[in-house]
């Protein structure tokens, strides 16, 4: 049995911030020895809504080849990082729609005993960083998952200030969709921590 950690990063992003965080986390997790699957929840918005925002339309096209998540990705995973921009302080319908397809594997107890963590972004400074992550984590309790938040386990957490997960203030403008070094460092720390703890659990269960 391989003790390498299988990490699924399952997220949604309209304008690219979430994709940048997911990519940074994937690189960090791979460097830490994990096998990583990146999955982007399927778009639900009508094409007219997407086309009304050129940044959204460009990101939608640029990520067209990112596979959508499936229940198998969670069953395969030892650790799962979910990511969603905030929508009125909650997660997006797109990510929630995927989560709402999981009653089969949930009933079969295939979602429990894994490590889970989360990331988010907001359009305003205080517009829902913590509430979105806590809303996401509600479902993990129902899964019987093991939530591994970053807490203040690294000096970077005193910089970004969010112990619930990586979060980014995505300012509308020409840089929308990119993240700064603080968010990058936070994402890397969270991914490395998830891989390290999931690896310890996996090795412990195999012993």
Ligand X SMILES: Cc1cc2nc3c(=O)[nH]c(=O)nc-3n(C[C@H](O)[C@H](O)[C@H](O)COP(=O)(O)O)c2cc1C
Contact, 115 vs 198, CB < 8 A?
yes
121 contacts ligand X (rule: CB under 6 A): yes
Alpha-helix runs per DSSP H in 7-128: 17-31, 47-51, 54-62, 71-76, 93-99, 103-107
Which residues, numbered 169-198, are part of the site for ligand X (CB under 6 A)? 170, 177
With contacts defined by CB under 6 A, how many residues of the chain interact with ligand X?
A: 19
25 counts as binding ligand X under rule CB under 6 A: no
Q: In this structure, what are the phi and psi dihedrals at residue 144, rounded to the nearest 5 degrees?
A: 75, 30
Residue 47 or 109: the one with the smaller Cβ distance to ligand X is: 47
**Count of CB atoms within 10 A of residue 205's CB?**
11
Q: C-beta of 107: minimal distance to ligand X in Å?
A: 31
Among the listed residues 116, 110, 90, the one whose alpha carbon sits nearest the alpha carbon of residue 191: 116
> Minimum CB separation from ligand X for residue 122, in Å?
3
Toward ligand X, which CB reaches closer, 116 or 119? 119
Residue 85 binds ligand X (CB under 6 A): yes
Residue 86 engages ligand X in binding (rule: CB under 6 A) = yes
Contacts to ligand X from residues 89-108, by CB under 6 A? 89
Structure tokens belonging to residue 140? 């993990």
Q: How far is the first Cα of the chain from the last one, in angstroms, to the nearest whole number?
A: 11
Q: With binding defined as CB under 6 A, does residue 50 bind ligand X?
A: no
| 124 makes contact with ligand X (CB under 6 A) | yes
Considering the rule CB under 6 A, would residue 122 count as an interface residue with ligand X?
A: yes
Residues 57, 132, 38: CA angle, nearest 5 degrees? 55
The DSSP secondary-structure symbol of 6 reads E
Region from 1-9, 13-21, 23-31, 183-191 binding ligand X, contact rule CB under 6 A = 13-21
Residues near ligand X (CB under 6 A)? 13-18, 85-89, 121-124, 127-128, 170, 177
């Amino acid at each position: 049995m391989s003790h390498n950690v299988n990490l699924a990063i399952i997220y949604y992003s309209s304008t690219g911030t979430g994709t940048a965080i997911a990519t940074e986390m994937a690189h960090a997790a791979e460097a830490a020895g994990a096998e990583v699957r990146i999955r982007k929840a399927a778009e639900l918005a009508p094409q007219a809504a997407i086309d009304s925002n050129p940044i959204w339309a460009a990101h939608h096209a640029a990520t067209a080849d990112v596979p959508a998540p499936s229940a198998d990705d969670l069953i395969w995973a030892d650790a799962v990082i979910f990511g969603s921009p905030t929508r009125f302080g909650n997660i997006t319908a797109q990510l929630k729609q995927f989560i709402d397809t999981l009653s089969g594997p949930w009933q079969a107890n295939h979602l429990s005993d894994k490590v889970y963590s989360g990331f988010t972004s907001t359009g305003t400074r205080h517009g829902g960083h913590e509430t979105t992550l806590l809303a996401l984590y509600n479902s993990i309790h129902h899964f019987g998952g093991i939530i591994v938040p970053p807490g203040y386990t690294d000096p970077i957490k005193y910089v970004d200030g969010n112990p619930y997960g990586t979060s980014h203030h995505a300012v509308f403008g020409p840089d929308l969709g990119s993240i700064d070094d603080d968010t990058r460092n936070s994402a890397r720390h969270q991914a490395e921590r998830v891989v390290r703890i999931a690896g310890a659990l996996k090795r412990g269960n195999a012993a």
